[in-house]
Amino acid sequence: MAVRRRSARREKKIDDLGWDVLDSPLLAQHRRWVRSIHPAAPGTFTGIQHHFNVSSGETGTIVASALLGSAIGAAIAGRLADRIGRLRVMHIAAALFAISALGSSMPFSVWDLGIWRVFGGIAIGLASLIGPTYIAEVAPASHRGRLASFQQAAIVLGITASQLVNWAIAQGADGKSQNPLGPLDAWQWMLMAAVLPAIGYYVLTSRIPESPHFLVATGRLDQARTVLRDVEGPGIDANARVSEIGHSLRSDEKPRMRELFGGRFGLLPIIWAGIGLAVFQQFVGINVIFYYSSILWQSVGIDQSSSLLISLSTSVVNIVGTVVAILIGTGSEVQLAVEARQQLQADGIPTRVVSMPSVEWFEEQDQAYRDRVLPREVKARVAVEAGIALTWYRFVGEDGRIVSLEHFGASADAKVLYREFGFSAEAVAAAARESLAATTH
């Protein structure tokens, strides 16, 4: 776990900061909402298949074309942002979103529909890369993590919004996306609906300042100082911050492709690990559910209107579903916590395992960081302590529980000792249920 030490010079209360602290990063996060609405357009595929009389394989190719565009967008976003600025890249992404939505809604053939989706994919790649970059460069360190955490919320809200819009449009066409609704078919209106959030993205990102890192890199130091004062408050030493950014830019080494190569199998082990994570993430199947949820429900006999409603309900579950219990452990206790989490998850109890290297380091982090790791609203907590319970107990609260060994010998296997002293995953899971019950009374 990466640990940041706080800088006293940068610490401020939120009341001391300019409006840009919250406004700028949140408006930049609007792109997450737009991109989650645009790419899959779940609910439109039945209408597309019916309109163009194409096979499932051809439909899958059209769906995947957006992912091809995403790869292209992500590949060019960094250099483009360094050349023309972060805001202009956001504006280009917004324009591509709108163009793709309009073109996709009125295609001449299934193949030009695929081309329009590639344009939308490029917008996704641009927006996905430039948004986090902008937040990292603009938001003060004490608020950066909190603002970046809105990313997942924006994605989930965007998915839910797209499902809601699709369902509402389908209701106006007797529940079927292939039915006409005015001058166009319902599926065409579903695709065209993405124009509105694209316009909103463009308008909102026109209200925020350019990244001070880009301004410093292009020699516009006065503008950079103005942005920094607006973002971090008038009391900061803007000259020192500009010098700090300039030093960072000069000391950064541009990555080279050859740095990725090495090791026994052609690439560095960490690169293979990253590739493996990406592959296994797809094996989970979440994208299949996201892209084809309504078709999957139809395949088991549910009518199209009901399938769209069920897809909407699953998106709502993503919003309301949250962690309700936290297990805290370090070292060998983490394995017990993980096993206990599996038991709790099997009973439908969303649980987070938190592993921390040191109490002292954790307490040195700013409050926003600590609140992300241990959300205040989650009262059901269990500290797993293999030894005297004097470390993480202070973080469980009055409704929390501690599973610990006051002492044990070192001559036997740890698992044997744990079992003999009742220090087991079952005990941790039971303590979590007790803590959860205490919070509901």
What's the confidence (pLDDT) of residue 10?
Answer: 35
pLDDT in tens, 179-215: 889 999 999 999 999 899 899 999 988 988 999 999 9
| Count of positions (residues) in the chain | 441
Is the Cβ–Cβ distance between 206 and 78 less than 8 Å?
A: no
What's the confidence (pLDDT) of residue 268?
Answer: 82
- Top CATH class of 325-439 equals alpha beta
Q: Which residue has the tokens 């987070």?
A: 352
Q: Tell me the two tokens of residue 80.
A: 């483009």
**343, exposed or middle or buried, with CB in 10 Å at 0-12, 13-18, 19+?**
middle
Helix axes 150-171, 141-148, angle to 10 degrees: 30
What's the confidence (pLDDT) of residue 395?
Answer: 79
- d(Cα 156, Cα 67) in Å, to the nearest integer? 19
Question: Where in 206-331 does DSSP place strands (E)?
Answer: 325-329
Q: Which residue has the tokens 């319970």?
A: 389
The answer for residues whose C-beta is within 8 angstroms of residue 311's C-beta and 6 or more apart is 42, 43, 163, 166, 167, 293, 294, 297
DSSP bridge pairs for 385 = 404
Q: Is the dihedral of CA 139, 143, 148, 154 positive or negative?
A: negative
85: left (phi over 0), alpha (psi -120 to 50) or beta: left
The answer for residues whose C-beta is within 8 angstroms of residue 20's C-beta and 6 or more apart is 138, 208, 209, 227, 230, 231
Q: How far is CA 147 from the centre of its chain?
A: 11
In the predicted model, residues of the chain with pLDDT beneath 50 are: 1-31, 33, 35-37, 388-389, 406-413, 416-417, 420-421
What's the confidence (pLDDT) of residue 369?
Answer: 74
Hey, what CATH topology would domain 8-208+285-317 get?
Growth Hormone; Chain: A; (1.20.1250)
Rg (CA), the chain: 25
Indicate the helix (H) or strand (E) that contains 389: none
What's the confidence (pLDDT) of residue 217?
Answer: 92
What's the confidence (pLDDT) of residue 24?
Answer: 46
Q: Which CA distances in Å does 36 have to 196, 274, 384? A: 14, 23, 38
pLDDT in tens, 221-278: 999 999 888 888 788 888 998 998 888 888 776 767 777 777 777 888 888 888 888 7
Domains in the chain: boundaries: 8-208+285-317, 325-439
Is the Cβ–Cβ distance between 372 and 153 less than 8 Å?
A: no
In this structure, what are the phi and psi dihedrals at residue 378, rounded to the nearest 5 degrees?
A: -90, 100
The number of beta carbons lying within 10 Å of the beta carbon of residue 419 is 13
Q: Tell me the two tokens of residue 105.
A: 């809604």
- d(Cα 404, Cα 330) in Å, to the nearest integer? 12
Q: What is the DSSP letter of 254?
A: P
Is the Cβ–Cβ distance between 294 and 304 less than 8 Å?
A: yes
